[in-house]
Amino acid sequence: MTKQPRPLTRLILALLLASPLYAFDLEIPKGKNSDDYVKEAGAHVKAISPEDTKKAIDKGTPLVLLDIRSFAEFSDHGWIEGRTVVPHGMVMFKIRDIVPNRDIPIIVYCKKGKRSIIVAYQLQQMGYKDIKYLKGGALGWKNKGYPVKTSGTSKIAEAPVVSKGEMPTGITAEDLVAEANKLVKAIPPAEANRVLTTNSNAVLLDIRTQQEIGSQGAIERAIVMEHGKVPFNIKKKVHDANTRLFVICKKGGRSALIAKQLQEMGYKDVHHIAGGILAWKEAGLIAK
């Protein structure tokens, strides 16, 4: 005689099977992961140690120390004096205004080093000639006992603009956005909102910085995940490759890039919001 599960066991099994994580039609995304992006970029760019970075700074070598972390990380871990602040997702859109000289040395750093490897490779593709990433990131710097600042204001392009030289002539952010828009569909805000309202499994992914959300308004039901952290964290939040995903930023450029990346990571139903949060608010939709 087959032994039947106890009532409590049956209840637990029923709940598990009813959960989206255990649904029979759940399909795990099978595309690229964060390690793939880091490995690909790491094959093309060089690291610089905290020791050599400190020597270059102390020597007064002209360079750009590019801090690409989110603003929330500054209060947690401090920062290296003299840095230039440009959050990861904005680097490609702002760097040519901030560093209009392809030959100036640029050292990119983040918390541990992985995001900076990816950004360093992007800068190399844009035509900058002397790009390195700080090995171990801000934590590696601190672990060596080197000084960090923990007070003061932080704003984009905090350091002085670099003197002009020969402009980089590689790919531009506009090139990449145009390429992304050939592969992912931009959805008008009203249509996206209708789907999100009627489909409980659809997800709105907000990739803006906390500062942008504070000034432009938040969307209550969105998952907030800043641009640079998406490849590292999205599979922890969205488990099914068939989830309908809508990505939103300020105007639509960054969201196109992330939507394309999500497709590469194995998500099959990805779109981005045309015009971003500005168009969302103009359409009369709620942003608190």
| Per-residue pLDDT, 10 | 59
| Per-residue pLDDT, 143 | 96
Q: Which residues contact 9 (CB under 8 A, 6 or more apart)?
A: none
Question: pLDDT per residue over 183-220, tens digit each?
Answer: 999 999 999 999 999 999 999 999 999 999 999 999 98
The rounded mean pLDDT for the chain is 91
Residue 23 has pLDDT above 60, yes or no: no
| Higher local confidence (pLDDT), 190 or 18 | 190
| Per-residue pLDDT, 72 | 84
Residue 4 has pLDDT above 60, yes or no: no
| Per-residue pLDDT, 22 | 46
Residue 1 has pLDDT above 60, yes or no: no
Please tell me what DSSP assigns to residue 164: P
Q: Provide the residue count of the chain.
A: 288
Residue 9 pLDDT grade (very low, low, confident, very high; cuts 50, 70, 90): low
Per the CB < 8 A criterion, the answer to whether 116 and 109 are in contact is: yes
Question: pLDDT per residue over 158-169, tens digit each?
Answer: 666 778 899 999
What domains can you pick out in the chain, each with its CATH number?
Answer: 36-168 (3.40.250.10), 174-282 (3.40.250.10)
| Per-residue pLDDT, 25 | 73
Q: Which residues contact 165 (CB under 8 A, 6 or more apart)?
A: 100, 101, 102, 103, 104
Place of tokens 């790009």: 131
Phi and psi at residue 203, in whole multiples of 5°? -130, 135
Helices (H), 100-243: 114-125, 137-143, 173-183, 189-198, 210-216, 230-237
